[in-house]
Amino acid sequence: MCIYFKFVLFDLIWSSQTTFTSFSFLEGYLNKLWFTLLFLIPLFCFRAVKWTLFIAFLLDILFIVNLMYFRTYFTAIPLDSYGLVGNLKDFTASVYDSVCWIDAVFPLSTLLTAILYYKKYKQKKVILPVWKKRQRAGRYLLLILVATLFSGAFIWSKGGFKAAYESLQGANKHTCDTPIYTVFGSLYYDYLLENIAYTPEIKQQIEAWLKLHPRHKTLPFQLEERNGCILILAESLESWVLEKTVEGVEITPCMNALLKEKTTLYASKVLTQVKGGRSIDAQLLLYSGLLPIGNGSYSTKFPRSLYPSFLKYLKNAENAKIYGMMVDKEIVWNQKVICPALGFDSLISRRSFVLDEKVGPRKKLGDLSFLRQCGEKISSPELWPDSAFVFLQCVTYSGHNPFILPEELKRVSFSDKIPKRMNDYMTMANYTDRAIGNFIAFLRSQRKFDKTLIVITGDHEGLANSRGTLCCSEKGKDVVSSDPYVPFIVVNSPVGMRYDKVMGQIDMYPTLLDLLGLRDCSWTGLGRSILDPDKKAFAVSPQMQVYGDIAGVPESEIEWAKEAWKISDLMIRCDYFRYNPRDKWTE
């Protein structure tokens, strides 16, 4: 009963943050029963109490880590991510922040069971004859067989395990898959996906979707050319902190000033569409115009797949040099391999920066110093020559959960009436804003500034499961956005505009194609440019939720937009671009 209780408790905690729909599926109870019977074989067949308790302890760990992962990514841990556990040492504080007090019930239930068992049965040593032991083991295995038949019947009736699992991928049931089929079912589904082969049927499915994709429209007017681009990918930067004053404190004065410039393009409601890859998923959306894969990170699962990229188009059109700067090690998210696949010529990583300003529990380089040192590096004619088009990506780190900023770096403060998580987030946003402001001020002193496109965006939302609590709080309800939007700011844009409709991160790729004057590109992405007047003002989240205005949008178009997630997954997983080369597709 203890092990079955753990499965049910896991489902209760999981469902409390999503939906309790999974509890209405009979097969969910049968699946939990089947695994419970399986894990109790050592006890009922061999009276191996210590082994049973050890299994229960391992289950405690498995359930807790998956709940921690779920609180940020809304999915169970992908199969391949178990091999990346070493990366967690750079995000220890974020890991601890994902733990909830109720998680302690798992190991406590194991401890309580052990105490009760040894108290009640330890002194009662009953030696059974061999035939009796075999008879009991046989009956128990027969019980498992019966449970297998019932559970298997449900799966068979739905067309097999893969079809049954995928039948839950709709908008309202997509978080029910793990509670119904357990963590082990999720792992098995991941395994099945690893073995998908590219077939004529898959090619037909992809190209049928692409035929319905509206053709990227060439702008009817010529834009002023830019001869450089700097992209700041700000960790966990959300839109709601911009243009916001709390207790008389302007949170982001530097970025607010940029928004007022006539040559700034600002989109305030960019829906977060990253999945398990988080920051590296943001780079996929930005540079390749593809949506993240369904489970895990594309950068670790499919680093050898061929990826289209506007960075590669820049190389073809402008003979551009592409550089990436980051405070992380190159092995994080497998950037050493995936960044060249996206078109980067060189990565300038942690060892190239002086750690003179420590931020966060891991004491990594703070945004203020990082962007200052980025400025020092691009002052070099070798890195930012007047005669060449240069693309530079700067990935910040300080905004990483749990938003811990040393006291000496704080320039704003809020009262104790503000919830601590909200207080910390706004304080960190102000710090990152100051870093960006100083960096922009430095760039203005450079000769190439007026001809350089400067893009500022958040890699993904930052509040995760804290959002609901903050939005319900007295001080947060009119300040914190209930939706996971990041900003998309383009300074020195050839088209100055404000776009307050909903767009997805997937729409940044075609928008940047327009702003950079990249015409006649074979791959224009799965999104649509916000410069296209026919673009519909909605986007689909990884959880299949629709955000934005869908009034007058046909249901078929909404379903088509949802289908894009599956199509993108197949394109990456099956290496579609390698098998279907087109002129200047991915050179």
Helices H, strands E: what count in the chain?
21, 14
Dihedrals phi, psi of 323, to nearest 5 degrees:
-125, 145
- Kind of pairing, strands 346-348 and 452-458? unpaired
Residue 235 annotated as binding? Answer: yes
Nearest to 238 by CA among 458, 517, 48: 458
Residue 216 annotated as binding? Answer: no
Residue type, 33: L
CA distances to 50, 52, 60, 111, 113 from 57, rounded to whole Å, are 10, 9, 5, 9, 11
Active site residue 279: yes
Residue 213 annotated as binding? Answer: no
Residue type, 112: L
Q: Which residues of 38-66 are buried (b: 16+ CB within 10 A; e: fewer)?
A: ebbbbbbeeeebeebbebbeebbebbbbb
Residue type, 426: M
Kindly report the length of the chain.
587
Bridge partners, residue 457, by sequence: 233, 488
Exactly one of 22, 279, 288, 398 is catalytic; name it: 279
Alpha carbons 455 and 516: distance in angstroms, whole number: 11
Structure tokens at 13: 């905690």
Structure tokens at 295: 């489970």
CA distances to 224, 241, 244 from 473, rounded to whole Å, are 47, 17, 17
Alpha carbons 541 and 166: distance in angstroms, whole number: 17
Alpha carbons 80 and 213: distance in angstroms, whole number: 32
CA distances to 181, 216, 306, 328 from 188, rounded to whole Å, are 10, 39, 26, 32
Q: Please, which residues have CB within 8 angstroms of residue 142's CB and are 6 or more apart in sequence? A: none
Q: How far apart are the first and last CA of the chain?
A: 59
Which residues belong to the annotated binding site for Mn(2+)?
235, 459-460
**Which residues contribute to the annotated binding site?**
235, 400, 459-460
Active-site positions read 279
